[in-house]
Amino acid sequence: MATVYEPVIGLEVHGQLLIKTKMFCGCSASYGAPPNTHVCPVCLGLPGALPVPNAAAIECAVRAGLALGCTVRERSVFARKNYFYPDLAKGYQISQFDLPIDEHGSLDIELEDGTRKTIGITRIHLEEDAAKNLHGVGSGTDTLVDYNRAGVALIEIVGEPELRSAAEAEAYLRRLREVLMFLGVNDGNLEEGSFRCDANVSLRPVGQEKFGTRTELKNINSFRFVRKAIEYELGRQEAILSSGGRIVQETRTYSSAEDKTISLRSKEDAHDYRYFPDPDLPPLVVSAAQIAAIRATLPELPASKRARWQSELGLTAADAQVLSAHPALARFFEATAALVAGDAPTAEQRAAAGKRCANFLQAEVLRYVAFHGLEASLPVEASALAELLAVVEAGTISGKMAKDVFAEMVATGKRAQKIVAQRGLSQVSDTGVLEAAAREVLAQNAGQVERYRAGKTNVLGFFVGQVMKATKGAANPALVNDVLKRLLET
């Protein structure tokens, strides 16, 4: 019988911290500046320059650790990871090795079919980024180095090899990204590489405990490609193992154009980084009181928001997922829903308000929303949207009119009540006016009235349509319905 193999996948994620300056110097950490303009003796690795740890970076690492259920070490150690490469001016990267700042955490993931699983997080450590080699510039064959990125603060989050499929790996990555974004420590931008992932992938015969030889997939820049790269790699390894071959430990990259992984370099001789504590940096001490103070500022995380919106507001899982896809959107939704609910006394009324907001946001507002990192351009303020929804709820305008009014609010920046007043949009809710229009319609359609009274009550829709037409669409349809029924049944 053919051997059945089980995938073993572990992810290492690098997240650039959302702070103004670099890990060990005061240079700007912003992206996109002209090459080599954000540099100083420290991040250029000039002799005698001394690193000073960035307090904001340390706080970010603690926040991430606490949110991911880690134990935060009160005393961690910066270590030198030694290797030679042109993008590493010092000849070593300052990282953390045997005593990282955070350890032993976990992340709950949920698959598309609803299966839940908890994946262990081995450790989170602080480190500095390398510079960036720019190939094929200058004469066209030169490689130049841009040191703006050198020394930018990162956290590396090392997950346990507990993922058993490409789908689990994607779910883990999505969940991790949203946690970091809601914490405000990372902007989640895969394309610009501020959130990037390496995957360690291997197979072992089902029932065997020992891991097989792994390959490392490097720098994959989208969720879809992570999944495809891992799927391809699992298939490639299975074909080799099934035909009696041996997996070579190596680093591979994913080519989206060819949908396959390609060998970059063999790993066999690249392992000795000769880590040792950095003599320029004393042990990093974070007190229990500091950790407690940071814990007190942790925001509600998206998984918790989704569960709460479903139980308190009756949102569907799909609605909750859409509205929690970005922290700015989640904030906007919650602010609008709170304004619309106002001081509604019952849980049902508050739920109905939340549901109305969720529906209108998804149907009308989302198409105008653009996300830029952790910021988002929302087309109107929460208070303006809440005002519009209140105008609809009061019956002044119909839900259909609300779409037009909203489009005008976005285009002109005017408030809903002003637009309704200026355009004379107020829905006719005066029963006297509606009754007069209804009587006229009934008088003109005696035949249909007889049919209705003979039991063909479905002609009611016809009468409603006629009254709407007579009032040029301004009538409140629910009231028209009531008035017509009353007139027809008396």
Which residue number, 27 or 438, has a Cβ lying nearer to Zn ion? 27
Provide the minimum distance between the beta carbon of 135 and Zn ion in the complex, in angstroms, as a whole number. Answer: 24
Residues 9-44 as b/e (b if ≥16 CB within 10 A, e otherwise) read bbbbbbbbbbbebbbbbebebebeeeeeebbeebbb
| Distance of alpha carbon 278 from alpha carbon 81, whole angstroms | 9
**Residue 132 beta carbon to Zn ion: minimum distance, rounded to whole angstroms:** 15
Indicate the SS3 state at residue 397. coil
* Least distance to Zn ion, CB of residue 396, Å: 59
Positions 432 through 461 that interact with Zn ion (CB under 5 A): none
- Between residues 25 and 163, which has the closer beta carbon with respect to Zn ion? 25
Amino acid making up residue 79: A
Letter for the amino acid at 63?
A: R
Stretch that binds Zn ion, among 27-35, 223-231, 357-365, 482-490 (CB under 5 A): 27-35
Count of residues for the chain?
490
Is the separation of the CB atoms in 415 and 384 below 8 Å?
Answer: yes
Q: Residue 25 interacts with Zn ion (CB under 5 A)? A: yes
Which residues lie across from 253 on neighbouring strands? Answer: 262
Q: Judged by CB, which is closer to Zn ion: 38, or 306?
A: 38
- In three-state form (DSSP H/G/I as H, E/B as E, the rest C), the secondary structure along 192-219 is CCCEEEEEEEEEEECCCCCCCCCEEEEE
Stretch that binds Zn ion, among 43-51, 309-317, 389-397, 464-472 (CB under 5 A): 43-51
Give the residue with the Cβ less far from Zn ion, 40 or 325: 40
To Zn ion, the closest distance from the beta carbon of 103 in angstroms equals: 29
> What is the DSSP secondary structure assignment for residue 378, as one 8-state letter?
-
Sign of CA dihedral 310, 366, 15, 174: positive
Q: Check residue 43 for interaction with Zn ion (CB under 5 A).
A: yes
Q: Does residue 57 belong to the site contacting Zn ion (CB under 5 A)?
A: no
Among 27, 171, 229, 434, which residue sits at the site for Zn ion (rule: CB under 5 A)? Answer: 27
- Report the residue number, 27 or 341, with the smaller CB distance to Zn ion: 27
Contact region for Zn ion (CB under 5 A) — 37-45, 73-81, 134-142, 229-237?
37-45
Nearest distance, CB of residue 91 and Zn ion, angstroms: 17
Site membership for Zn ion, residue 40 (CB under 5 A): yes
Closest C-alpha among 40, 66, 38 to residue 51:
40
List, in order, residues 6 or more apart from 287 with CB less than 8 Å away.
74
Would you say 89 or 330 has its CB closer to Zn ion? 89
Q: Which of residues 170-199 bind Zn ion (CB under 5 A)?
A: none
Write phi, then psi, for 40 (nearest 5 degrees): -155, 175
Query: What residues make contact with Zn ion under the rule CB under 5 A?
Result: 25, 27, 40, 42-43
